[in-house]
Amino acid sequence: MQSTNDTIYALSSGGLPSGVAVVRISGPQALDATKVLCGSLPAPRTASLRTIRTRNGLVLDRGLILVFQGPASFTGEDCTEIHVHGGKAVVAALLAELESLDGCRLAENGEFSRRALENGKMDLVEVEGLADLIASETEMQRRLAVEHSAGGLSLLYNGWADRLTRARALIEAELDFADEDDVPGSVSDLVWNDMASLRTELTDHLAGADFGEIIRDGLKVVIAGPPNAGKSSLMNMLSRREVAIVTDIAGTTRDVLHVDLNIEGYAVKLYDTAGLRETDEVVEREGIRRALKTVADADIVLSLAEVGDRAQAEFPGFDGRVIKVGTKADLHVMTTGDYDLRISSRTGAGLADFHAMLVDDLRERSASLTLALPSRLRHRALLSESLKALTSALEWKSSGLDIRAEYLRQSGNSLGRITGRVDVEDLLDVIFSEFCIGK
C-alpha cells in the first residue's frame, strides 16, 4: 500500500458509459485539487453545479460538486465528489487532469475503505460487510451484508470482548490487591458464572456459522446419480436454459457444470455431475472423481434414479442431507418406490414440490437465528479460537488464577482480531484486494 499522505482519486460509480459518473477524491489536497478544477467550492455537504475545467481553462464538463470535510467523511479525511456525465471521454479527461496535479494519484483497490478503517470510521467486520453489500445478488445476501456493514455484528463482538476484559480486571485485582480493604475478598463466582454464560453464547453463535456462509456463498446443491438418470435434464429445467447437453448416450456429462439460482431471496448453487458407474474410460473416470469430490463439499445432494430404480442413499465423504428423486415420472405410472420426490423434466411435474422442499430446508436451518451471523471462514476460525481459550479458562480450575486470566486474554484477542481491535496488519492486503478501485 502506498503512502497515506497522498491524495487519492478514482471513479467510484459503475461501468461506463452511464448517465452519471462519480469521481471521488480523498486526502490532504482533496479540497485544493477540486478547487483547481472547479474554481470555487460549495459549502460542505451541499451539492452545487460547477463548470469543470483543465488548468489551461478548457471546459471538461458541467457537474455537481460535493465537499465532505474530515473527519466527517467516509474516509475520515477531506473528501470531495465530482458528479459528471458518464461518457468514457469525459471521465478519462477528468482523471487525466487529476493525475497531472502534484500529490494526487489513482487509488488502489479498496484504498478508500482502508483509510476509513485506519481513521476509525469503520472496523474490519464493517469493511467486509461493505464488500459483501457491493457484491450481493440476492435479498438475503443484502440483508446479511447490511447487518455487518451497519455494525450489528461488531457490537456483539465488542460487547463480548469488553466482558472478557472486565473479568480479567476483576481477577487481576483479586491477585494483586487481595490484602487491600477496598478489594472484595473473592470475585470468582461472579466472574466464572458470567464467563460460563459467555461460553454458551459463543457456542450458540458459532452454531449459526454454517447458515451465515450459506447466505453469503450460496446453498450448494449437487445433482448425482447413474448415467441417463435425468441429471442434465433436471439441471436445464431448474435453470430454465440449456446449460447441460442432453443425449441418450451414457456418459455425456464429463465435467461438473454449475449455475446460480435465486430461490426466495437465497442464493443456491446448483451442480450437475458425471454419471456414477464403474468404467475403464479414462476421461469418464476423471469426471466421476470430480463428481464425488463435488458431492463431498455439498450441503444437499439430489440423488436421482429413474422411477423403478433404486436411488443411492449414501455417498462417500458426505454426511449431509440426501434427497432421493425419482425421475421421468411421466413415463412411469407405478406409485411404489423409496423416493422423497418424483419429477418429470419434460412436464415440470414435481418442480414446485422441489422448490418448496429447498425453501423449507433453508427456513429450518435459519430457525431462531438472527442475521448477526458469522459469514466468513476467518470469522469462524477466530471465534473457535476464542471459544477454545475461554473453555480452557473455565475448565482448568486446578491452574492458578494468573494462568486462567491469560486464557481470558487470549480469548479476547481472538475476538479483537475479528473486528480489527487487535493487530491484523497481515490480513489487510488480502481483504482490501477484494474491493473495486473506487471503494
Say what the pLDDT of residue 275 is: 83
Segments of 69-176 assigned E as strands? 79-86, 104-106
Which tens digits make up the pLDDT trace of 197-231? 999 999 999 999 989 999 999 999 999 999 888 88
Selection from 258, 292, 293 nearest residue 275 by Cα: 292
Per-residue model confidence (pLDDT) at position 400: 81
What is the SS3 assignment for 49?
Answer: strand
Mean pLDDT of 158-168: 90
% of the chain surpassing 90 pLDDT? 55
**For residue 245, pLDDT beyond 70:** no
Which SS3 state, helix, strand or coil, does residue 76 take?
coil
Query: Model confidence at 76, in pLDDT bands (50, 70, 90)?
Result: very high
Percent of the chain whose pLDDT exceeds 70:
88
User: Residues 405, 406, 412, 414: is their CA dihedral positive or negative?
Assistant: negative
Average pLDDT over residues 226-250: 71
424 vs 245, residue with greater confidence? 424
The whole-angstrom separation of Cα 404 and Cα 196 is: 13
Enumerate residues 6+ apart whose C-beta is below 8 A from 428.
1, 114, 117
Checking if the pLDDT of 180 tops 50, the result is no
What rounded mean pLDDT belongs to the chain? 87
Confidence of residue 434 (pLDDT cuts 50, 70, 90): low
Q: Supply the pLDDT for residue 186.
A: 56
Is the model's pLDDT at 349 over the cut of 70? yes
Q: How far apart are CA 1 and CA 108, in angstroms?
A: 8
Give the C-alpha separation, 169 to 176, whole Å: 10
Report how far residue 351's alpha carbon sits from residue 50's, in angstroms, rounded to the nearest whole number.
57
The pLDDT of residue 189 is 75
pLDDT in tens, 20-64: 999 999 999 999 999 999 989 999 999 999 999 998 899 999 999
- pLDDT of 183: 43
**Which amino acid is present at 248?**
D
Pairing of strands 104-106, 257-263: unpaired
Cα distance between residue 7 and residue 27, in whole Å:
4
CA distance 7 to 16: 24
Give the contacts of 318 (CB within 8 A, at least 6 positions apart).
295, 296, 298, 301
Check residues 249 and 166 and name the one with the higher pLDDT.
166
How many helices and strands in the chain, by DSSP H and E?
Answer: 14, 12
DSSP code of 107? P
Q: Which distant-in-sequence residues (6+ apart) come within 8 Å of 33 by Cβ?
A: 7, 9, 25, 80, 98, 101, 104
Q: What does the pLDDT read at residue 65?
A: 97
Average pLDDT over residues 269-291: 87
Work out the pLDDT band at 181, boundaries 50, 70, 90.
Answer: very low
Q: Does 1 score more than 90 pLDDT?
A: no
pLDDT digits (tens, 9 = 90+) for 315-341: 999 999 999 999 888 887 766 678 898
Determine the pLDDT at residue 34: 96
Q: d(Cα 409, Cα 407) in Å, to the nearest integer? A: 5
Rounded to 5 degrees, what angle do the CA atoms 300, 351, 301 make?
Answer: 15
**Residue 371 predicted with pLDDT over 70:** yes
pLDDT at 178: 53
Going from the N-terminus, what domains does the chain have, and what CATH number goes with each?
7-119 (3.30.1360.120), 127-208+373-420 (1.20.120.430), 216-365 (3.40.50.300)
| Set of cell numbers at residue 266 | 437465497
